[in-house]
């Protein structure tokens, strides 16, 4: 019995060591817009206590970080988060234990962008969109951000509406005009989306288009993968593996979907898909034989991007961070040596079991032990619910105009 107990403790200690990166190394970026009143194109349901200013958005992000310990950066969306003093905003964030993350450009809400922005037939509209993204580059310099993200709503609704090939030429030319304005060391993320708001053609529709355009723009132009921006059944983990191999995976917009771009909580619908994606990332981080993929995986940005349509903002954000942490912990438990041996032997079932066994592992006790050892709540979600912070936040923010989309 003593030998059995000793073996069990040793196995538990080994497992804790293997998943420790999910608490010590994983860094999650929070979106400023994830704390405000959001919804669908049908309805935005307001909630009490949502931020009224970008400073209050940062306060909420700092609260999530305080409970989880791994959410140390907050992304901004311009012009939604424009202020007069971005250096001051960055200092405000630093005082709360955060840094400013990606600067997300918005070239889809103005009336001028009805027929596109960087791909618009009008040179004047394209120049306006270029200037908007150049401003984001300047904001990155003032805040110490490492990323400028470009997502375009550009596309067409009907066959014949515009010349599809010329739209691509306009896109590449515009991004090449923007690229020299990136501060040193700052990367450009190009995000793709299958459809919406355009319904016939989208100018950056899939990962292949984003990758090919990035190659034409520059070495620091990379691809951003939004989990919800694919057709049903697409093998997202294979896309991730290819982008890693190419050294062009920049980051993720993390959420979950059932049908389309649903922007549900991370891992809430298909956690096994998220596990398969994180397995590719962990596999690349461990692969000394592929330095390009290894370096790319270690530089990948993990940003939450979800629309809290009906669920409370703060606990939902904490849940998403925890869900990502849990699937990374499972991926870290994959027996890589056994997996590689099974793959080399052509043993399909054993190779598959190596993944299935890791996914079936309940990592919550391991993560709880690691959090406790680092002075964090064992269960951040439950700790937040029991803290009374929600009620205090709502009371402190009574009155004023709540922030929302736009």
pLDDT in tens, 247-289: 999 999 999 999 999 999 999 999 999 999 999 999 999 998 9
Domain count, the chain: 1
CATH number of the domain within which 292 lies? 3.20.20.150
Give 3's pLDDT tier (boundaries 50, 70, 90).
low
At 399 the pLDDT is: 85
Give 309's pLDDT tier (boundaries 50, 70, 90).
confident
Task: List the single range of 35-44, 178-187, 268-277 with lowest mean pLDDT.
Answer: 35-44
Tens of pLDDT, residues 101-133: 999 999 999 999 999 999 999 999 999 999 999
Tens of pLDDT, residues 280-300: 999 999 998 999 999 999 999
| pLDDT at residue 11 greater than cutoff 90 | no
DSSP string, 136-180: HHHHHHHHT-SEEEEE---EESSTTSS-HHHHHHHHHHHHHHHGG
Structural domain includes residue 35: yes
At 402 the pLDDT is: 77
Distance CA 303, CA 27 (A): 9
Structural domain includes residue 225: yes
What domain range includes position 155? 19-334+381-396
Give 6's pLDDT tier (boundaries 50, 70, 90).
low
Mean of the per-residue pLDDT values for the chain?
A: 95
Give 1's pLDDT tier (boundaries 50, 70, 90).
low
User: Which runs of consecutive H residues, i.e. helices, occur in 179-312?
Assistant: 207-217, 236-246, 271-286, 291-298
Cβ contact 210:168 at 8 Å:
no
At 2 the pLDDT is: 55
Structural domain includes residue 173: yes
More confident call, 398 vs 159:
159
| pLDDT at residue 321 greater than cutoff 90 | yes
Structural domain includes residue 387: yes
Q: Which residue has the tokens 């305080």?
A: 66
Structural domain includes residue 359: no
The kind and range of the H/E element at 61 are helix 54-68
Distances (CA, A) of 269 to 257, 263, 302, 358, 393: 7, 11, 18, 19, 29
Give 41's pLDDT tier (boundaries 50, 70, 90).
confident
Structural domain includes residue 5: no
Structural domain includes residue 8: no
Structural domain includes residue 145: yes
């Amino acid at each position: 019995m003593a030998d059995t107990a000793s073996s069990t403790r040793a196995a538990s200690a080994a497992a804790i060591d293997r998943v420790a990166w999910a608490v010590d190394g994983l860094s999650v970026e929070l979106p400023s817009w994830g704390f405000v009143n959001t919804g669908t194109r049908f309805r935005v349901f307001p909630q009490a206590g949502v931020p009224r200013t970008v400073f209050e958005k940062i306060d909420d992000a700092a609260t999530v970080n305080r409970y989880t310990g791994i959410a140390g950066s907050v992304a901004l969306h311009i012009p939604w988060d424009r202020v007069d003093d971005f250096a001051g905003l960055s200092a405000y964030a630093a005082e709360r234990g955060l840094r400013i993350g990606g600067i997300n450009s918005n070239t889809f809400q103005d009336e001028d962008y009805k027929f596109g922005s960087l791909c618009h037939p009008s040179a004047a509209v394209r120049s306006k969109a270029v200037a908007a993204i150049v401003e984001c580059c300047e904001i990155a310099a003032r805040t110490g951000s490492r990323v400028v993200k470009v997502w375009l709503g550009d596309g067409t609704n009907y066959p014949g509406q515009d010349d599809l090939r010329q739209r691509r030429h306009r896109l590449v030319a515009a991004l090449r005009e923007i690229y020299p304005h990136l501060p040193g060391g700052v990367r450009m993320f190009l995000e793709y989306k299958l459809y919406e708001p355009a319904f016939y053609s989208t100018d950056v529709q899939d990962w292949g288009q984003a990758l090919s355009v990035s190659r034409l723009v520059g070495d620091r132009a990379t691809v951003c993968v939004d989990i919800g921006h694919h057709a049903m059944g697409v093998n997202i983990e294979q896309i991730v593996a290819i982008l890693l191999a190419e050294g062009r995976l920049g980051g993720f917009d993390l959420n979950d979907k059932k049908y389309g771009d649903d922007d549900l909580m991370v891992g809430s619908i298909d956690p096994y898909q998220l596990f398969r994606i994180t397995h590719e990332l962990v596999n690349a981080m461990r692969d000394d034989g592929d330095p390009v993929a290894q370096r790319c995986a270690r530089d990948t940005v993990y940003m939450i991007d979800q629309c809290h349509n009906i669920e409370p903002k703060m606990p939902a954000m904490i849940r998403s961070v925890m869900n990502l942490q849990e699937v990374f912990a499972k991926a870290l438990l994959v027996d890589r040596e056994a997996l590689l041996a099974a793959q080399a032997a052509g043993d399909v079932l054993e190779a598959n079991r190596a993944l299935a066994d890791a996914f079936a592992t309940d990592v919550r006790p391991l993560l709880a032990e690691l959090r406790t050892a680092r002075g964090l709540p064992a269960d951040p979600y439950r700790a937040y619910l029991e803290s009374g912070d929600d009620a205090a936040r709502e009371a402190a923010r009574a009155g004023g105009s709540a922030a929302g989309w736009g």
